[in-house]
Amino acid sequence: MSDEPLLVLDGVTCGYAGETVVVDATIEVGPATFTGVVGPSGSGKTTLLRAMLGTVPVRAGQVWRRPNLRMSYVPQTETVSWNFPVTVAETVLMARTRGRRLPWPSAAERTEAAELLDRLGIAELAARSIRELSGGQQQRVFLARALLARPQLILLDEPTAGVDVGTRHEVLHLLGGLHAEGLAIVLTTHDLNGMAAHLPRIVCLRGAVIADGSPRDVLTPEVLERTYGAPLEVLEHGGMLVVVDRYSRGGPLAARPRSHPRRQGARVPLRGGPGAESPGTA
Amino acid sequence: MNLLEPFSFAFFRNGLVVATLAGALCGLVGVFVTLRGMSYIGHGLSHAIFGGAAASAVLSFNFYLGAGLWGLASALAIGRITRRRIIGADAAIGVVTTASFALGLALLNRFGQARRSLDAALFGSILGVSGTDVAIVAGVTLLGVVVVVAGYRPLLFTTFDPEVAEASGVRTARVDAVLMALLAVTILATMKVLGVVLIAATLVIPPVVARMLTNRFARMLWVAAAVGAACGFVGMHASYHLDISSGAAIVLVGAVVFGTVFGLTGRGGRSRAAGPARTAPGRELAGRGP
């Protein structure tokens, strides 16, 4: 396998009408790498993925892609209507929109989609309407659609947003398996402890790239405070890094009664709240 | 009541063919309109085309050419505004189409002839349907079928998930433009029989009925077309025998079908039909926020 990068963002500045979202981002994605992009809401994570895909205008810098690079994208599941009248198999086969003109799939396409669904453990759902799926199943369907395009690089936007711990483990395990088979993966996540800390490489983003490296290099209080704008601490537990919030004096708990078990200055693992503005739970 | 009596009139035979084809065409195109959450665009576009039709009448210009160009320009403008979100899409559509409608009304008030022609334009009439109109509606129906069959995959992908479709190399802007153009041509071709005010209902009711009956996209397409055709056929008979405008009769038949299916399919069917929902916001998400 060539060591040539699959994709390089070189000093990329991009955004939308009148609004710059990502500034001077330089990131290289190599073959069979597994990268997590973390940062608070509005930090430009999705825009960064779109810059890689080429669906957002680049104002400065350049995006280089390996010639004939096959890339797939898995959006957040909430971006589509799951009440849409299609089955799981039809959704997966959307990956084959280009090429064949006829509305119905060929036998080869059907076989390939069935094999993929089987590999992802949802073969029995093929004929089922997508409106009947759970959150984890929806994620697998999107993943199957992305994989049907036989990508070398797959980009996932918040693949574990809104799913329970068990589903998060499933998704992480699934992605780990695909990575082990040689697929390059870039994903965005809010979940520092449940997701990002398990990845070999993390990019911290807040409009610009704050840090880029292994979890041990990147998950430091200084980098995290610059990324999230809040004081965070990093603990080590059983060889794993755990990011915890550190409430400052005068912070939200200061007004609580003295008898409250979480006193000022106590270290409290973060919870992924509704806004998910802060890093995820331990 | 002699059900065969109206067939002795050429205008009725023409009107029946046009209404049946128009119902099928609107049902087919309406599937995309409803699933994309664009029902308001269909409603607005018919009003916009009315402005072009009125201007063509006043200037003695060819109806289909004048109203068509006007409608096409409106459709493309609406599509562009919807994609770029310069202002809120609903507000932009409201401004463009109601202004066009108001212009049409003003032109007809100032320079138009009998009030009857205005009523016919607004609510539909079978009296003015000629052999040429039949040929035009048949041609547009054939065009609609060809577009939907040939473009089935990109249309489906772009309707369901425009962001990933674009990222996968589908030319979503072109697909959107083709769909908007087809919508404009559909409205233009069926306006005489269905009327400006009521045409939107024929774009919405058959697809919603079909959605209550099926969970499959391909099946929804032909069921919507069949329901639309049946409503057109029955509605034209009702129009003749009850002496009411053809557009009103067709929409009322559609409403009865909707109510019947709504009652028969139970909660499952109703919840299916509840949902173009997030398709439109999904479209808005494409290429937007961070």
Residues of A in contact with B153 (CB under 8 A): 94, 96-97, 100-101, 103
Chain B residue with CA closest to A45: the answer is B290
What is the C-alpha to C-alpha distance for residues A246 and A240, in angstroms, rounded to an integer?
Answer: 19
Cβ-based interface (< 8 Å): residues of B facing A: 35, 84-85, 149-150, 152-154, 156-157, 159-161, 163-170, 211, 214-220, 271-272, 274-279, 282, 285-290
pLDDT(A31) > 90: yes
Residues of B in contact with A84 (CB under 8 A): 35, 159-160, 217, 275, 279
pLDDT at B69: 82
Q: Sign of torsion, CA B263 B265 B270 B275?
A: negative
Nearest-CA distance from B81 to chain A in Å? Answer: 13
Chain A residue with CA closest to B172: the answer is A55
pLDDT at A252: 53
Q: What's this model's pTM, rounded to 2 decimal places?
A: 0.81
> Cα–Cα distances in Å, from B35 out to A86, A94, A171, A186, B208?
12, 16, 30, 31, 9
Nearest-CA distance from A26 to chain B in Å? Answer: 17
Phi, psi of B154 (to 5 degrees): -65, -35
Q: Which domains does chain B have, with CATH numbers?
A: 9-282 (1.10.3470.10)
Chain A residue with CA closest to B212: the answer is A85
Phi, psi of A22 (to 5 degrees): -120, 135
Instruction: Grade residue A279 by pLDDT with cuts at 50, 70 and 90.
Output: very low
Instruction: Grade residue B279 by pLDDT with cuts at 50, 70 and 90.
Output: very low
Nearest-CA distance from B43 to chain A in Å? Answer: 22
DSSP A20: E
Q: Where are the alpha helices (DSSP H) in chain A?
A: 45-53, 88-93, 107-119, 135-148, 165-180, 215-218, 221-228
Kindly give the pairing relationship between strand A184-189 and strand A34-38: parallel
pLDDT at B284: 33
Higher pLDDT, B205 or B44: B205
> Of B85, B160, B286, which has the smallest distance from its Cβ to A86's Cβ?
B160
Half-sphere exposure of A224 (CA within 13 A, CB side): 28
What is the C-alpha to C-alpha distance for residues A175 and A103, in angstroms, rounded to an integer?
Answer: 31
Residues of A in contact with B272 (CB under 8 A): 83, 85, 131
Half-sphere exposure of A140 (CA within 13 A, CB side): 27
Instruction: Grade residue A272 by pLDDT with cuts at 50, 70 and 90.
Output: very low
Instruction: Grade residue B2 by pLDDT with cuts at 50, 70 and 90.
Output: confident
Pairs across A and B, CB distance < 8 A: 116
- Judge residue A43's burial from the number of C-beta atoms within 10 Å of its C-beta, 0-12 exposed, 13-18 middle, 19 or more buried: buried
Residues of A in contact with B162 (CB under 8 A): none
pLDDT(B175) > 90: yes
Sheet strands (E) in chain A: 7-16, 19-29, 34-38, 58-65, 71-74, 153-157, 184-189, 201-206, 208-213, 232-237, 240-246, 267-269
Nearest to B208 by CA among B141, B253, B277, B275: B275
Higher pLDDT, A266 or A31: A31
> For B73-99, what is each residue's pLDDT tens digit?
776 776 677 666 556 667 777 877 888
Chain A residue with CA closest to B274: the answer is A83
Residues of A in contact with B217 (CB under 8 A): 84-86, 90
Residues of B in contact with A129 (CB under 8 A): 215
pLDDT at B79: 67
Is the CB of residue A70 less than 8 Å away from at least one CB of chain B? no
> For B222-272, what is each residue's pLDDT tens digit?
999 999 999 999 998 998 899 888 888 888 999 999 999 999 887 666 666
Question: Is residue B31 a contact partner of residue B150, using CB atoms and an 8 Å limit?
Answer: no
Chain B residue with CA closest to A71: the answer is B168
What is the C-alpha to C-alpha distance for residues A97 and A87, in angstroms, rounded to an integer?
Answer: 16
> For A57-100, what is each residue's pLDDT tens digit?
999 999 999 998 999 999 988 888 888 999 999 999 998 887 77
What is the C-alpha to C-alpha distance for residues A72 and A87, in angstroms, rounded to an integer?
Answer: 20
Look-up: residue for tokens 């395009």?
A149
Is the CB of residue A87 less than 8 Å away from at least one CB of chain B? yes
Please report, for chain A, the start and end positions of each structural domain, with discontinuous segments joined by +: 80-147
